[in-house]
A and B are shown apart, each in its own frame.
Chain A
Amino acid sequence: MTSSAPALAKGEAKSELNDSLDTGAKKVFCVPEHTVEIIANSGEGAQKCGQIFGSVSAKMGNGVWTVEIIPAEIEPPPRHVTSTSGNLIRFGTEQITNWGDRTKLAVAFNEQVLLSRHRLDSLDDECIILVEDMWENHDDENIRKEWATAMEEMSSANYRIVKVPIEEESLKIVDNPHHGKNMFALGMLAEVYQRDLDLIKKQIANIFRRKPAKVTELNIALVELGIQWARENLDFQFDVPAKVHEEARVVMNGNQATALGAIAAGMEFCAMYPITPATSVSHELCDIIESYGGMVHQAEDEIAAAGVAIGASYAGKVALTVTSGPGMALKTEFMALAVMTEMPLVLVDVQRGGPSTGLPTKVEQSDLLAALYGQHGDAPRVVMAPATIEDCFQSMITARRIAETFRTLVIVLTDANLATGVQQFPRPQLDERWQEAPLDLSAVPEGTLPYDWDHSTGLSRRIIPGQANGQYTVTGLAHDEFSKVSYEPESNELGCNMRSRKLAVFQSTLKPPTVVGDEEGDLLIVGWGSTRGAIEEAVGRARADKLKVSSCHLTFMSPLEPGLKEIFSRFKRVMTVEINYSDRLGDPYITAENRRLGQMCWLLRAHTLVDIDCWTRVPGQPLRPGDIHNAIVSHLENGAAS
């Protein structure tokens, strides 16, 4: 996908726009994709505006990726660079797999939130900005000054700033502009991008379905006013053609997909403790799971949540616990217990920035090694990472199957990017068999052993309370086939062996990952998790520039998919791209020997003995295809000597 096609190609397009301005004629730019954002103080409804815009675009047949822009506090001060709340929507003719590079058109309710985006380098140099004009000549002198200073700071960019009387216009319809500006803004965007008004109306009616009909009417009136204002005052429009999709499609964010996936997978029980950005998975589940005969238990802490989930699994239920990094840290002792007792358990870690409280609302892929190795003793488990919103759904079904077949802990690593990113995907086909209970309560044959390991696979039969003749005592102590505590050397070796063997058996069922691009070349980019879309887009651009680059995206981190060493051997160089920390060569004190690498990079080096490099960043936001592209180019330039 040629995603960087600018709305206004540098130079001439801009002057073209200026031309059309001069002549007063409305100019329509046809583009394969565009990135728009709407930003405001928290509480002004920018998110709602963005969500409607995104979902209407999806419904019209555009590919869409939506990113939430969230302040860290619930009620941050208004008109402040830390208060920015809103939505970024990248949409196009083709499927959109990531948030892309920079915003081409922004609607801002004040200059401070705009400034925050400018400082983050989120806006394209030639971004069109529709900004509330009431601050420029505000009665309050301080505000006027703030406006002037901000504008001065932003004058370094070539933004095209259009001042809009958003509040003044909205007041024509509502008394309280805080509950209305967002719909006026939505109207402007609807006109600029020619969105389907009927769809917008339906969407609004749905949102306010529990409110008096008057509310829906007012909101629609505001949208229509926005449309009218844009029609009369803006001299440009963008046309982002949509495609007709044959198959049924759904649009949702990753946490919603995870929650629905859990239900579709037949998970009956989720124990959790609230933590951003994982919480909304449980919000979704809390909303609906009871009507499926299941429940969410909000525990007193993450330790308890893990314990309650393990208790439920022991009792024969399909159990889930959902958390983020700090919560997973608390669960580690119980995770090892699940491994030791071979209790099926699915743990979703919606990764955020760390360490410690870190960046609670922001994306990072820094929990990989913790998920793999963050426990006492040898505790083999399955670790997997969905790469797309659709994967979030599907991985829950896979995770359950693995957990039960192999009597193991399965960790699903999603992240804040997937959690809040909204994307459409083909409506999943459901299977009734996914709903089957793990076991019934019929008696087991007398003498059945709780760990009756098949010595070649490590697999054994699970027994649950209620099954006559099965009564045994689970223990986290080293134990034998009878689940009897045993400190015998052979017995401990055997237990470790059996628990580990299962991973190898599982790996034997996996296929090598696919290589996107040529099967051999100068550079292979390896990624995992939510970076897939950005990596493949970047590699696509590099390939369009005739660079011999391919990519390969891993779903399983434990066990790793087979055949990696062979794949790597076909490329001159291999480099991981990850959202976690690594030292950079050239920084003070950093040498090739002491350099700390990206987490997947460590893992692959250890497993393949290939001298793999990494390009990692921790900006607290998803990687941009443009930045990955630059990294690829410079890596190849630096390596050209070899």
Chain B
Amino acid sequence: MSVSMPSFLNCISDDDFAHYEVDDYQKCVAKWCSGCGDFGALNATKRLLAKEQLQPENTVFVSGIGCSSRFPHYVNSYGFHGIHGRALPIATGVKLTRPELDVFVVMGDGDCCSIGTAHWIHAIRYNMDMTVLLLDNNIYGLTKKQTSPTTPIGFSTNTMPRGSYLPPLNPLTATLGVSNASFVAQTADWIPAHMYATLQAAYEHKGFSFVRILQRCPKFTPDVFTDAVKNPDNNELLVHENGIDAPGLEKLFKNRIIHDPKDLDGGRHYAEVENRVRLGLFYRNGELPCYEDTREVVSVTAAEKIQKINTEFDRYAV
């Protein structure tokens, strides 16, 4: 919190005047390798928090285990650094019981698409209002270069030294294939403007906003995105008046696809990879049911509860 109140305003609580700068959202210095794409994601996120002026005490970041899952330690908010693959159940418990909190989830590709797959599929369908970042470096970073479900075929790792055997899993088409999927976007850590705009759109969306962030790992997959980084011409940007709009991208991306994010079939089509990276909003539908809304609870006083339990006992009375 950065604004100190003049003493004559003591009667007004700090909170009413609290204003947060980007740096106010930093809890401590992030400890990732230099050149790690996670820094970009953290910076874009902090910018978003400042833009939205989210109150740190009413914001929760939940993660699993992995390099990327260290994320909550670096954000000044409540955080839950959980266990590998299980960020989403924890986040579900938080959002379901405290829907007023802003919930963000950060996962790695192993975390979300391998060990946590069951939760991922079901969380998409629950469509709870949370912003979900998949930091996809195509590798297990923390445990030092094992194949992940998104590792490119043929890519050599410590567990598949002669190259990964199978084509990678596509987190975008997988997500778009699940009933009740409501927001699917892809961005890249090396295009800060696009990443920020994507997170902004994800945050604004009511529902499970799934953002796959192509994330460079300088240690273990330094080259998987090199072509995409060096030759933006080989990338394609999904654009639309209802899509994600980031200033200054016209020059960078010559190849643009006009895609209405309402169009699910189109989104699925463009999410299929054809040897090029596509960034943008594949699908968005703000009309789909959110699980927490269907589970709203009434408020009942203790005295009322006691009365109800006693009525319950009457059913069992001897």
Q: State the A residues within 8 Å of B (CB).
A: 58-59, 61, 245, 248-252, 256, 260, 263-264, 266, 268-269, 271, 288, 290-295, 297, 299-301, 303-317, 319, 333-334, 337, 424, 427-428, 430, 432-433, 435-436, 443, 465-477, 484-485
Contact = CB atoms under 8 A, between A and B. Distances in A.
Interface stretch (B85-93, B184-192, B243-251): B85-93
Q: Return the 9 tightest CB-CB contacts between A and B, nearest first.
A: A311-B93, A307-B89, A473-B79, A435-B302, A308-B93, A311-B90, A312-B93, A249-B318, A465-B78
A432 B93 contact: no
B19 interface: no
A312 B96 contact: yes
B11 interface: no
Contacts of A306: 89
Interface of B: 15, 27, 55-58, 60-62, 65, 72-73, 75-83, 86, 88-98, 101, 118-119, 121-122, 295, 297-300, 302-303, 305-306, 308-310, 312-313, 316-318
B57 A301 contact: no
A292 B57 contact: no
A443 B15 CA distance: 11
A131 B84 CA distance: 58
Given A250-B318, A295-B295, A465-B58, A435 B89 contact: no
Contacts of B308: 288, 291-292
B83 A309 contact: no
B312 A290 contact: no
Given A293-B299, A315-B93, A430-B310, A301 B101 contact: no
A297 B90 CA distance: 13
B128 to A, nearest CB: 11
Given A308-B93, A311-B90, A474-B80, A292 B300 contact: yes
Contacts of A269: 93, 96-97
Contacts of B297: 268, 290, 293-295
A523 B260 CA distance: 81
Q: Which one of B62, B65, B92 has the greatest number of beta carbons of chain A within 10 Å?
A: B92
Dominant secondary structure of chain A at its interface with chain B: mixed
Contacts of B93: 269, 271, 297, 307-315, 319
B77 A312 contact: no
Nearest to A297: B96
B27 A304 contact: no
Nearest to B98: A315
A316 B98 contact: yes
A469 B302 contact: no
A201 B85 CA distance: 55
B98 to A, nearest CB: 4
Contacts of B78: 465, 470-473
Contacts of A467: 57
A120 to B, nearest CB: 30
A314 B91 CA distance: 10
B67 to A, nearest CB: 13
B317 A472 contact: no
Nearest to B55: A468
Contacts of B76: 471
Contacts of A251: 316-318
Contacts of A245: 318
Given A250-B318, A466-B101, A474-B79, 18 more contacts: A59-B318, A249-B318, A260-B313, A292-B305, A295-B295, A303-B86, A304-B118, A307-B89, A308-B93, A310-B90, A311-B91, A312-B93, A312-B96, A314-B80, A337-B82, A427-B313, A435-B306, A473-B81
B86 to A, nearest CB: 5
A247 B93 CA distance: 41
Contact of A466 (B58, B121, B317): B58
B57 A471 contact: yes
26 contacts: A250-B317, A250-B318, A251-B318, A288-B308, A293-B298, A294-B297, A295-B297, A300-B118, A303-B89, A307-B88, A307-B89, A311-B92, A311-B95, A315-B93, A317-B98, A334-B86, A337-B83, A428-B313, A436-B302, A443-B57, A470-B78, A471-B27, A471-B57, A473-B72, A474-B81, A485-B73
Contact of B316 (A252, A263, A472): A252
Contacts of A301: 118
A189 to B, nearest CB: 19
A304 B82 CA distance: 12
Contacts of B298: 290-291, 293
Query: Which of A245, A291, A295, A424 has the largest count of B CB atoms less than 10 A from its CB?
Result: A291
Contact of A315 (B89, B94, B309): B94
Contacts of B15: 468
Given A301-B118, A471-B77, A427 B90 contact: no
Given A59-B318, A312-B96, A288 B83 contact: no
Nearest to B291: A297
A436 B73 CA distance: 32
Contacts of A305: 89
A198 B56 CA distance: 64
Contacts of B122: 299-300, 304
A308 B73 contact: no
A31 to B, nearest CB: 21
Nearest to B62: A311
A432 B306 contact: yes
Nearest to B300: A293
Contacts of B313: 250, 260, 427-428
A208 to B, nearest CB: 15
A308 B92 contact: yes
A260 B310 CA distance: 10
Contacts of A260: 309, 312-313
B57 A470 contact: yes
A609 B134 CA distance: 53
A295 B99 CA distance: 14
A341 to B, nearest CB: 8
A476 B81 contact: yes
Given A249-B317, A295-B295, A465-B101, A311 B80 contact: yes
A629 B15 CA distance: 70
Nearest to B316: A250
Given A248-B317, A293-B298, A295-B297, A473 B80 contact: yes
A293 B298 CA distance: 5
Given A300-B122, A465-B58, A315 B101 contact: yes
A446 to B, nearest CB: 10
B125 to A, nearest CB: 9
Contacts of B121: 300
B289 to A, nearest CB: 16
B303 A432 contact: yes
A290 B305 CA distance: 11
A465 B98 contact: yes
B312 to A, nearest CB: 6
A430 B90 contact: no
Contacts of A294: 297
Most buried by A among B78, B93, B312: B93
Contacts of B309: 260, 263-264, 430
Nearest to B301: A435
Contact of A471 (B56, B82, B303): B56
Q: Quick one: which of B15, B27, B300 has the most chain A CB within 10 A? A: B300
A315 B97 contact: yes
A625 B297 CA distance: 47
Contacts of B96: 269, 295, 297, 308, 311-312
A298 to B, nearest CB: 11
B53 to A, nearest CB: 15
Nearest to A252: B316
B63 to A, nearest CB: 9
A622 B41 CA distance: 58
A316 B303 CA distance: 21
A474 B56 CA distance: 15
A555 B31 CA distance: 47
Contact of A317 (B27, B92, B97): B97
Contacts of B317: 248-251, 427
